[in-house]
Amino acid sequence: MKILLSAFSCNPNKGSEPGKGWAVAEHLGQRHSVHVLTKTANRVAIENALTNRRDLDRLSFSYYGTEKPSRGSGVKVNLYYHYWQQKIASWARESIEEFQPDVIHHITLARYWTPSSLAFLGIPFIFGPIGGADEIPASFKNSLTLRGRASGKLRALVQLISEQNPRLKKMVKSSSLVLPTTEATSRKIEKLGASNVFVMSPCGLVPTVIETLQKIHDPNIPQKHFTICSRLLAWKGIHLSLQAFNRCKDLNVDLHIFGSGPEKQKLQGLATNLGIDDRVTFHGHVSRQKLLEWLPSSIALLHPSLQESGGMACLEALAARVPVICLNHGGPPMLVPGDAGFVISPESPEQVIKEMSEKMRLLASNPELHIAMGKRGQEKAINSHTWTVKLNAIYERFNTTQLKR
């Protein structure tokens, strides 16, 4: 099969969306003829990764857009992404005509409300996995910072306006297969007119990550801290984790936060006000390799995200035999089985903080439970959430839909 992959974000050295773009390209490129359309800023990292990769001789790339990485304010980046998606079909016309794909697969970014010009070329089109329809529970909105509340309102407004775009509706209706990441996005997509819908988490493991974590694993490593791996955004719920950790400060444990973002100062101020700043370390952005090496020494990953369509940090923690404490909302509960972590119903901030602190105490004081949960989580992650499993399911479903047409 000849697959044209649209991966605006695609970088072998990163996690999240860029890492997903590369993982899907790498996996498909080992099995099919694949040509990837991505942004120019990814060129150096990709070309370095392709050096001496003879198993990827059927994988090729074309680069479009500005040479500069997409940095700056969220508004600026989002506007550029929208522009890139509208222009990519015309920019890549010659590459597409030369490649003659059997299918076009949009993989990043994973948002449902931005139409791609590639969907209107008369070639079967797979859209996803895509998400973004999960909303912050109403009872939690007042717990966010002013910046967080404003950002949420702007996001909701952009989605509302985008849903009126006839090109979005046309794309969704004509897609051969649409892959929403959660039931909330599935309902939104079906309302827009999608017919062939298959709910699937956008998170998957690759063999190199599994191998790295298995090499790092040492049952004798003491678990003495809680870990957060997340961008520092209001809706990530890190303020809830800090308040839950505050209720565990009598335990001989620390909290380590990996990630950067606009809420850093506010979160550091909260830690100071709670009197736990000497037990909380903000590491900022670190390499993915360092994160993978750190995870196995964690008592648990704290991930009470309020608006999460994916949850890659949860999946990597499970693969590292680390239990996860998350909310029963959005993408994370699709990854975290009940016997490998704690999935808390988000009823109110106080209730979540209370239950999180109870589960943190339980895991910190019960090494046997930590080991048992960790083992079950790793088995689930490796057996059900590799890109091999997910992409096989996607293309089996795609082939079935094509036979029915």
Q: Is 252 exposed, middle or buried (0-12, 13-18, 19+ CB in 10 A)?
A: exposed
| Whether residue 391 is found in the same domain as residue 334 | no
Neighbour count for residue 362 (Cβ, 10 Å): 15
DSSP string over 274-298: HT-TTTEEEEES--HHHHHHHGGGE
DSSP string over 65-126: S-SS-S-S-HHHHHHHHHHHHHHHHHHTHHHHHHH--SEEEEEES-BTTS--GGGGSSS-EE
How far apart, in whole angstroms, are the C-alpha atoms of residue 384 and residue 238? 28
Q: Which amino acid is at 293?
A: E
| Whether residue 318 is found in the same domain as residue 374 | yes
| Whether residue 39 is found in the same domain as residue 129 | yes
pLDDT at position 400, please? 85
Residues of the chain with confidence (pLDDT) below 50: none
| Whether residue 194 is found in the same domain as residue 225 | no
- Distance between terminal CA atoms of the chain? 18
Q: Which amino acid is at 389?
A: V
pLDDT at position 30, please? 93
| Whether residue 114 is found in the same domain as residue 156 | yes
Read off the pLDDT of residues 110-157 as tens digits, 9 standing for 90 and up.
Answer: 999 999 999 999 999 999 999 999 999 999 999 999 999 998 898 889
Containing structural domain, residue 233: 207-384
DSSP letter assigned to residue 345: -
| CA-based torsion, 137, 20, 199, 336: positive or negative | negative
> Residue 197 in 3-state DSSP?
strand
| Whether residue 140 is found in the same domain as residue 13 | yes
CATH number at residue 84: 3.40.50.2000
Neighbour count for residue 386 (Cβ, 10 Å): 21
Pick the closest to residue 108 from 188, 171, 21, 43 (CA basis). Answer: 21
| Whether residue 161 is found in the same domain as residue 95 | yes
pLDDT at position 405, please? 62
DSSP letter assigned to residue 178: E
**What are the strands, taking DSSP E only, across 166-297?**
177-180, 225-229, 254-258, 280-284
Neighbour count for residue 132 (Cβ, 10 Å): 23
How far apart, in whole angstroms, are the C-alpha atoms of residue 218 and residue 369? 17
| Whether residue 189 is found in the same domain as residue 112 | yes
> Residue 165 in 3-state DSSP?
coil
| Whether residue 220 is found in the same domain as residue 185 | no
Read off the pLDDT of residues 266-285 as tens digits, 9 standing for 90 and up.
Answer: 999 999 999 999 999 999 99
How far apart, in whole angstroms, are the C-alpha atoms of residue 316 and residue 332? 12
Pick the closest to residue 34 from 14, 56, 65 (CA basis). Answer: 56
Backbone phi, psi, residue 124, to 5°: -50, 135
Neighbour count for residue 287 (Cβ, 10 Å): 11
Full-model pTM: 0.91
Neighbour count for residue 163 (Cβ, 10 Å): 15
How far apart, in whole angstroms, are the C-alpha atoms of residue 322 and residue 328? 18
Q: Which amino acid is at 125?
A: F
| Whether residue 274 is found in the same domain as residue 247 | yes
Overall number of domains in the chain: 2
| Whether residue 339 is found in the same domain as residue 362 | yes
Q: Are 263 and 148 in contact (CB under 8 A)?
A: yes
pLDDT at position 335, please? 95
| Whether residue 148 is found in the same domain as residue 36 | yes
pLDDT at position 77, please? 83
pLDDT at position 226, please? 96
Pick the closest to residue 235 from 396, 403, 74 (CA basis). Answer: 74
